[in-house]
Amino acid sequence: MNYNKNFDKIPKDYLFSKVRKSAELYFFDRKIIDLGVGDVKAPLFKKTVEAMKTACEELLSQKTFRGYSPSNGYQFLIDKIRLEYQNMDINISNDEIFITDGAKGQLGNLTELWDSGIKVLFQSPCYPAGAEANIIRGNEVDFITSDEQDSFIPYPPLDRHYDLIYLCSPCNPTGAVMNKNDLSAWVNYALNTNAVIIFDGAYSSFISGDYPRSIYAIDGAEKCAIEVNSFSKSLGFTGIRCGYTVIPKEIKGANALYTQWLGRRFNGVSYVTQRGAETFFDADVKKEVAKRINFYKTNVEILKIALKNVNLWYNNTVCSPYVFAKAPKGISSDVFCKTLLEKAGIVATDGAGFLKGGEGYFRLSAFCGREDALEGADRIMNLLNAF
């Protein structure tokens, strides 16, 4: 029996596994500041933990014990998500919302709704999980690149057709956030070419100002867009795993097929986890989430000041927990990230790992403590001033 040869088309190590492995080599003799993997460091919120404790205690009683979760999620959490959309003047029905174990898996799982071999477009640089999942599936993957000249905002390729389009706003890794006109251009393109958009909104909680927090804020998106979201970064659930996907019934066949897929491939997110996720919509927790996001954004500004002081270009966005910056002229992004680690004890992510258009750039994560952000900024300046 032959193995899937499409695995030969992707790197043997996943990007962030590689980042962590390289960092582990240096932990033994100095303090390493991890600005590489976008993993939260702050603890869960008290109300979230209390809700999960209560849910655990319910499992002690025969009357309130629960086994398998509904594959599409418990109604109490689905109702809260639907109301959140209503607060944005977006009408989504309960049977269009599916509770998942986060965004990462969904970016690949959704490809199974269509035949293999379809043409798929990714904005790039991009989070690699979705693109690599499509390559493994045997799809024809293409990239539309953007750079600092257009602030990493991609525009539709009007001379080409694709079946599936992946967009992310705010974008991981670049931090670029699309305004209403930007998203409208993509929705109109999808409607005109009979394409489906998979919209990664995992960082929507970081959006401020007039930028849309959902693609469904755009007229017609309910006819062509699937939205993937997560509680990982907002609620600190990177290790607990919970998110949700919205699949409108107006996208022909997709909602029904996903319901079929879900029942066969997924036993649902645990009751305890979903009770914790429900607290995201609590008024007090929302305030705490906002404070935490502002904390990470302040870390971003600290890192940007350091880069500005050493004359490195960075994407000056305000809706992201990442800083996407350009390596010093004449130095590859791989060599520069190795230099940061070896000479300054800083873990950064090589831009080339974010696929086409990423070479020459690096990403810093602001998911760290304030002390690490300040010390990391000092180390970057000291290293670059010595170049």
pLDDT tens column, 330-339: 899 999 999 9
Task: Give me the phi and psi of 121, to 5 degrees please.
Answer: -115, 135
Segment 295-306, tens digit of pLDDT: 999 999 999 999
Q: Do the Cβ atoms of 314 and 307 come closer than 8 Å?
A: yes
Q: What is the mean pLDDT of residues 355-383?
A: 96
Instruction: Indicate if the pLDDT at residue 387 is higher than 80.
Output: no
Q: Which residues of the chain does CATH 3.90.1150.10 include?
A: 5-44+284-385
Q: What is the mean pLDDT of residues 190-216?
A: 97
Q: What is the CATH number of domain 67-281?
A: 3.40.640.10
Q: What is the mean pLDDT of residues 106-126?
A: 96
DSSP SS3 for 255 = helix
Closest Cα partner for 169 from 87, 223, 222, 228?
228
- Across the chain, mean pLDDT equals 94
- pLDDT range class, residue 27, cuts 50, 70, 90: low
Instruction: Indicate if the pLDDT at residue 100 is higher than 70.
Output: yes
Instruction: Indicate if the pLDDT at residue 233 is higher than 80.
Output: yes
User: Strand runs (DSSP E) across 293-352, as ranges?
Assistant: 322-326, 346-347, 349-350
What is the C-alpha separation between 278 and 61, in angstroms, rounded? 22
Q: Which residues of the chain does CATH 3.40.640.10 include?
A: 67-281
Q: What is the CATH number of domain 5-44+284-385?
A: 3.90.1150.10
Instruction: Indicate if the pLDDT at residue 30 is higher than 80.
Output: no
Q: Do the Cβ atoms of 139 and 182 come closer than 8 Å?
A: no
What is the C-alpha separation between 229 and 22, in angstroms, rounded? 29
What is the C-alpha separation between 221 and 247, in angstroms, rounded? 11
Q: What pLDDT is recorded for position 29?
A: 61
Q: What is the percentage of the chain residues whose pLDDT exceeds 70?
A: 98
Burial of 60 (0-12, 13-18, 19+ CB in 10 A): exposed
Instruction: Indicate if the pLDDT at residue 20 is higher than 90.
Output: no
Closest Cα partner for 280 from 250, 243, 305, 311?
243
Instruction: Indicate if the pLDDT at residue 363 is higher than 90.
Output: yes
- pLDDT range class, residue 143, cuts 50, 70, 90: very high
